[in-house]
């Protein structure tokens, strides 16, 4: 146990020993063990985008076991996926890597201005599969946000009582936001703070842009001269917004980026801004296995700084 991991665990004084132990497992696994940073492979895109959009670029990825192996062999901190995908490989890879059960999801078969999520997994499923945490998505900005928040309240309470950690995908989306606003700095910072307020141990958000969506927020940013001009400054502000950096905030890889260099620049900004790591799915499993290994190696090297 490194001093950095002990420091991070000390921020979660309201949690029981089981939850702290599972957080420690996350922070002490893989190539980044002990550094206080995380590199997580999430494979929940098939539920929302469909199999061809998700896996056709790299056909071996249709097999759930491919993702387990990719995460294990490349020293990832954890593997996050929906119920059926974890069930398809959890026994074969039992104990090899911490697992995060994604409990809810959204499909893309109907156009929705204000989307919500369907819950298809349970805390009992997570315990049965030996998971260290559950994952849950909310959409700040949707008119249905309150029902998602209230559902998260119940899931988080049950998970914590069972000694599991809670990872929240806080993804602004809905009719109240423009498309540009979904990744605006004020909106992403708000989403990170909201997830912290809702009791998340680990918060997943998208990389923020310099755009400011809300007029009220723009006034506050300008009057207080909040530094948001560079990617690192924006990461720092988002982390600051999650209890002054006392909650683990990790950043998604976002849409597919063909060039490794574009991703590595973002990862460097995460490090420079004091972020806690990267949770990157499509940009790894949609590449060939050889290319994915090269990319994950580069990301891990930067995060280990």
Question: Which residues are designated catalytic?
Answer: 204
Computed over every residue of the chain, the mean pLDDT equals 96
DSSP string, the chain: --HHHHHHHHT-TTS-HHHHHHHHHHHTSSTTTTTT-EEEEE--HHHHH-HHHHHTTSGGGGSHHHHHHHHHHTT-SEEEE-HHHHHTTTTTTTTTS-EEEE-EE--SSS--SS---EE---HHHHHHTT-SEEEEEE-TTSTTHHHHHHHHHHHHHHHHHTT-EEEEEE---STTS-TGGGGBHHHHHHHHHHHHHTT-SEEEEPPPBS----HHHHHHHHHTT---SSHHHHHHHHHHHTTTTTSEEEEE--S--S-HHHHHHHHHHHHHTT--EEE--HHHHTS-HHHHHHHHHHHHHHHT-
Segments making up each domain of the chain, as ranges: 3-303
Instruction: Sort residue 209 into left (φ over 0), alpha (ψ -120 to 50) or beta.
Output: beta
For the chain, list residues with pLDDT below 70: none
Superfamily of domain 3-303: Aldolase class I (3.20.20.70)
CA–CA gap between residue 251 and residue 38 (Å, rounded): 10
pLDDT single digits (tens) 146-197: 999 999 999 999 999 999 999 999 999 999 999 999 999 999 999 999 999 9
pLDDT score recorded for residue 264: 97
pLDDT score recorded for residue 143: 95
pTM: 0.97
CB atoms within 10 A of CB 262: 11
């Amino acid at each position: 146990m490194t001093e950095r991991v002990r420091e991070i665990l000390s921020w979660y004084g309201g949690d029981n020993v089981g939850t702290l132990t599972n957080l420690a497992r996350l922070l002490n696994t893989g190539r980044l063990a002990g550094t206080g940073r995380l590199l997580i492979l999430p494979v929940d895109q098939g539920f929302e985008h469909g199999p061809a959009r998700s896996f056709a670029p790299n056909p071996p990825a249709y097999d759930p076991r491919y993702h387990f192996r990719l995460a294990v062999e490349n020293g990832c901190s954890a593997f996050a996926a929906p119920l059926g995908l974890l069930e398809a490989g959890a026994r074969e890879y039992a104990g090899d890597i911490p697992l995060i059960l994604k409990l809810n999801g959204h499909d893309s078969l109907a156009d929705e201005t204000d989307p919500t999520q369907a819950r298809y997994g349970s805390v009992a499923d997570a315990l049965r599969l030996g998971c260290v945490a559950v994952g849950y998505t909310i959409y700040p900005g949707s008119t249905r946000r309150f029902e998602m928040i209230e559902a998260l309240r119940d899931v988080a309470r049950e998970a914590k009582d069972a000694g599991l950690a809670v990872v929240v995908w806080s993804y602004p989306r809905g009719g109240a936001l423009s498309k540009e606003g979904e990744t605006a700095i004020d909106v992403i910072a708000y989403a990170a703070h909201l997830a912290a307020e809702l009791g998340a141990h680990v918060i997943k958000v998208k990389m923020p842009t310099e755009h400011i969506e809300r007029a009220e927020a723009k006034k506050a940013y300008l009057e207080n001269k909040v530094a948001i001009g560079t990617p690192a400054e924006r990461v720092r502000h988002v982390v600051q917004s999650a209890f002054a950096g006392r909650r683990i905030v990790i950043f998604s890889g976002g849409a597919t980026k063909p060039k490794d260099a574009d991703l590595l620049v973002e990862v460097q900004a995460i490090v420079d801004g004091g972020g806690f790591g990267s949770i990157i799915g499509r940009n790894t499993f949609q590449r060939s296995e050889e290319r994915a290994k090269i990319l994950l190696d580069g990301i891990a090297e930067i995060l280990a700084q």
